[in-house]
Structure 1
Amino acid sequence: MIDGLRPYPEMKPSGLPWLGEVPAHWDVLRAKRLLKATEIPVRPDDEIVTCFRDGQVTLRKNRRSNGFMIALLEQGYQGVRTGQLVVHSMDAFAGAIGISDSDGKCTPEYIVCESRVDDAVLGYYSWVLRQAARTGYILASCPAVRERAPRLRYPDLGELRVPVPSSDEQRLIVRFLDWHGAQTAKMIRAKKRIVALLNEEKQAIIHRAVTRGLDPNVKLKPSGIPWLGDVPEGWEVTKLKHLTRFQNGLAFKPSDWSSSGTPIIRIQNLNGSDDFNFTIKSDLPDLLLIKKGDLMFAWSGNRGTSFGSFIWDRDFNGYLNQHIFKLTDYKVHGKYFYYLLQAVTKHVEDESHGIIGLVHITKPELGSVSVPVAPPDEQNAIATWIDGQTSALAAIIQRTTREIALIQEFRTRLIADVVTGKLDVRVLANALPEITDDRPVEEAGGDEDLDEQDATDAENEEVAA
């Protein structure tokens, strides 16, 4: 059905670089003409509503219950009601804008809006403002209270110029995007389930090989480690700190960054992202560089994805940031060691701590983890066997993950084209069936994929008074 979308027949300049041309019958007005801030009193039973970067606005307990900055005194809190537009004043530039699905209360750092005119559809303007955030328009309009901390107040929001279709057209756009979002979410969930199952199978192969070896008839002995169980008789059990040195990356400050230079390698880059927005010009020690083939361990990241061992597969060098250890001087076969670390990641995750849905482990904690170690003459054979057994699975995982990214990219582009008037959805939206699955789509990876450098700032909504 998407193939049936066509451009509007007549366009005109909007006068805004981020918006470009709009349909000839649309207006472009300041947001204060359409939206007004509310000051609803808090009721005794109101629970906290949170505005997330993926556009979901819901009771905090509906998303997660830990990892928030908790206010000691809820001074200045305001009421929020289902259907209102909520803008996170300190995170609007990153897309924390949406329609509340719940009644509750929120910090004064939120802008809670309702329609100033009868025919303004708040759902449409939440899409428009999120698109404005993606283009950098909101960031450019925000005064900053400190470095990398822009804050959008209602007067700033009110001055933003936004496209204004008719109210009927606004409703049709929202209907189309909600329907497409539900279909996209269903597709992404199915593909993520495939990736999860393939990863489980891959991890089972790795775990069996590095804890039992390749001989199914080998004699076993107790390892003395509850999570590990028995290991082959000829194997050693030792702590990771006796097998390698963990070299810390650096906590780079914004003042260290430059427009060109050596890339700063972040956890998202270990997962394959080509986003190297941060570079540094510095004569740092070579020990802090990683090059192709180097082994690393991300010690703070998302459970099951951004946490664990990685081999750098790029052809250029980069400096590690503070959330990654470089493993040096290890005393075992490199690829075998990589698989050994993968096998113990689940145990390390279970023993770790963290905030905002992340896992975190210190160097002493990681170094104290006991692992089984095969004799030197078996290590290469185990690594080679695992390579052969998991290569096909890895290829399918990589392909499916790329498909998910492409679906998300298409969704993001479609939203931009629809809310800014580049594609006409009116006829199609009128013919759409009712939406039966209202779970939100992770448009750009969602909150779970926040970059680790921004993770501690991801939820500023609970500001201590």
Structure 2
Amino acid sequence: MEKYFEYKEINLPWLKMIPVNWDIRRNKQFLHECKKTVGDKSSEYTLLSLTLRGVVARDLSENKGKIPASFKAYKIVQPGDIAFCLFDMDETPRTVGLSKYKGMLTGAYNIFHIEGINAQYFYYYYLALDNVKALRPLYTGLRKTINVNTFLSQPMPFPPRAEQDQIVCFLDWKVSEINKLIGIRRKEIQELEELRENTILHTTTSGLDTSVPMKRTDNFWIGTIPEHWNVVQVRRVYSVILGKMLATEPADSSDTYEEYVCAKDVHFDGVDLSDLKQMWFSTSEKQQYKIEANDLLIVEGGAGAGNAALVEEPLDRDVYVQNSIHIVRPKSNRATTKFLAYWMRSMVKRNYMAFVCSVATIPHYTKDKVMSTVMPLPPENEQKEIVRYLDNECEKINNLITKKCSQIATLQELKNSLISDVVTGKIDVRNVTIPKYEHVDDIVDDDLENNEETETDREEA
């Protein structure tokens, strides 16, 4: 795409040049802060959240995120209003949003009516800054806040109105095209993940030899298995050790302060040792709760209940487990720990935790529930063959997923770069013809949608 014919210098920390026909205006020329709260009329407003997808309506019946006891302090938001988070911006995935809704948003945000400028252009401009956290120079104080008056006094590029409208039309088109490609890649990833889980389930229940006779087990989670396999509870072939309860003080002078693994550190793709907490352990507790090679770690409670990771190699230091983690070890060579790891993964992916644990509050996959879990048990040599096969197949699928994820990251970078280049005048789109196209919203991973999980905390901080 072509650049503008001529540029002029401006004095912004994040922008040095703009097209010569553009002006500079201050935010206060477009923004009017809205501080009105819903009070006792919260039932008249939709609950909103500012997330990586922008301002979205929340469904309280889904019971996601933290819901306050009262919405009285929540601010009223009208369609077309701009929401900003002007503090702790490094910790907030998205700090600006343009609302399509009439609703209410936590008082942690500043709400502005906007006029005198294309609101979508204004949003795209600050989205571009937000993507690179360009407003950091405006932080003040320990909490890294931006004073509202400082924000309102900030200058920004101001193209002619017809040009703003063309920029918005162009970006709406191109962003939709990129979002569509991202959606295709995400669907491909979902299909690969389903293939991986189906491969694990089929192989751990049917084995690798398609010629052997099969038998029914009358167990819903297992179904049919080869005739010469057994069905056992985990307790028959594995020992289970629940980790140590949290100890914030030493019991005596011989206790030592040691690193431990808790629920946040254990995932199906491995154990994360990068940010371990510490507590006090006695000499006997260190012997009991120390993680060893070939241990299977299973999460006891919370959203990750049942998540399991195999420690295949000795750790480079002594690490122990807290009581949100079970250590599972084979009692004899009848059992292969990694076979159980694959079986646990299959069970969790098929929502076994919702079946075996009470989910009315926090699910707990207790020691007794772990030991009572039913599993297929092939002969030891077949377990090892199955593990080798699944290691190989899962690696192939994981490599494909990694490539798709890399493609999504590249597309996301392209989108961010395009938005930035267009709203700052680095490329000229005035003469671009906009074709008919399907609008596609941003698509974001559920585990990244964490603004709404912390809004109440920010409001109360």
TM-score range, shorter chain: 0.7 to 0.9
Report the number of matched residues.
428
Aligned letter for 1:56? G
CA deviation after TM superposition for structure 1 residue 91, in Å: 6.8
Task: Say whether 1:83 aligns with 2:83.
Answer: no
Aligned equivalent of 1:209, options 203, 208, 220? 203
Q: What secondary structure sits across from 2:45 in the alignment?
A: coil
Aligned equivalent of 1:173, options 148, 167, 172? 167
Task: Supply the distance in 2 between the matched residues of 1:307 and 1:425 (Cα, whole angstroms).
Answer: 52
Task: Supply the distance in 2 between the matched residues of 1:384 and 1:401 (Cα, whole angstroms).
Answer: 25
Q: What secondary structure sits across from 1:426 in the alignment?
A: coil
Aligned equivalent of 2:46, options 45, 48, 57? 48
Task: Supply the distance in 1 between the matched residues of 2:147 and 2:326 (Cα, whole angstroms).
Answer: 42
C-alpha distance 54-334 of structure 1, shift in aligned 2 (>3 A): same
Aligned equivalent of 2:408, options 404, 407, 411? 404
Aligned equivalent of 1:422, options 426, 432, 452? 426
Task: Say whether 1:460 aligns with 2:460.
Answer: no
Task: Supply the distance in 2 between the matched residues of 1:185 and 1:362 (Cα, whole angstroms).
Answer: 39
How is 1:292-303 mapped onto 2 (pairs within 5 angstroms)?
A: none
Larger radius of gyration: 2
How is 1:138-287 mapped onto 2 (pairs within 5 angstroms)?
A: 138-142=135-139, 154-216=148-210, 217-220=212-215, 222=217, 225-232=219-226, 233-239=228-234, 242=238
Task: Supply the distance in 2 between the matched residues of 1:425 and 1:269 (Cα, whole angstroms).
Answer: 49
Task: Supply the distance in 2 between the matched residues of 1:321 and 1:35 (Cα, whole angstroms).
Answer: 53
| Structure 2: runs of 5+ lacking an equivalent | 247-258
Task: Supply the distance in 2 between the matched residues of 1:88 and 1:321 (Cα, whole angstroms).
Answer: 38
Task: Supply the distance in 1 between the matched residues of 2:306 and 2:205 (Cα, whole angstroms).
Answer: 21
Q: Which residue of 2 aligns with 1:10?
A: 6
Whether the 8 Å contact between 1:14 and 1:21 is mirrored in structure 2 is yes
C-alpha distance 49-297 of structure 1, shift in aligned 2 (>3 A): same
Q: What secondary structure sits across from 2:421 in the alignment?
A: helix
Aligned equivalent of 1:345, options 348, 351, 354? 348
Q: Which residue of 2 aligns with 1:367?
A: 370
Q: What secondary structure sits across from 2:44 in the alignment?
A: coil
Task: Supply the distance in 2 between the matched residues of 1:78 and 1:353 (Cα, whole angstroms).
Answer: 36
Q: Which residue of 2 aligns with 1:122?
A: 119
TM-score, length of structure 1 as denominator length: 0.72
Task: Say whether 1:433 aligns with 2:435.
Answer: yes
Aligned letter for 2:76? G
Whether the 8 Å contact between 1:267 and 1:301 is mirrored in structure 2 is no
TM-score, length of structure 2 as denominator length: 0.72
CA deviation after TM superposition for structure 1 residue 292, in Å: 11
The CA deviation string for residues 354-377 of structure 1, in whole angstroms up to 9 with x for no partner, is 89xxx9765658735443333322
Q: Which residue of 1 aligns with 2:252?
A: none
Whether the 8 Å contact between 1:87 and 1:96 is mirrored in structure 2 is yes
CA deviation after TM superposition for structure 1 residue 200, in Å: 1.6
Task: Supply the distance in 2 between the matched residues of 1:10 and 1:245 (Cα, whole angstroms).
Answer: 71
| Structure 1: runs of 5+ lacking an equivalent | 251-261
C-alpha distance 26-373 of structure 1, shift in aligned 2 (>3 A): farther
Q: Which residue of 2 aligns with 1:105?
A: 104
Whether the 8 Å contact between 2:242 and 2:367 is mirrored in structure 1 is no
CA deviation after TM superposition for structure 1 residue 340, in Å: 2.2
Q: What secondary structure sits across from 1:460 in the alignment?
A: helix
How is 1:380-391 mapped onto 2 (pairs within 5 angstroms)?
A: 380-390=384-394
Whether the 8 Å contact between 1:238 and 1:370 is mirrored in structure 2 is yes
CA deviation after TM superposition for structure 1 residue 432, in Å: 0.6
Task: Supply the distance in 1 between the matched residues of 2:280 and 2:74 (Cα, whole angstroms).
Answer: 47
Whether the 8 Å contact between 2:291 and 2:321 is mirrored in structure 1 is no
C-alpha distance 97-349 of structure 1, shift in aligned 2 (>3 A): farther
C-alpha distance 69-387 of structure 1, shift in aligned 2 (>3 A): closer
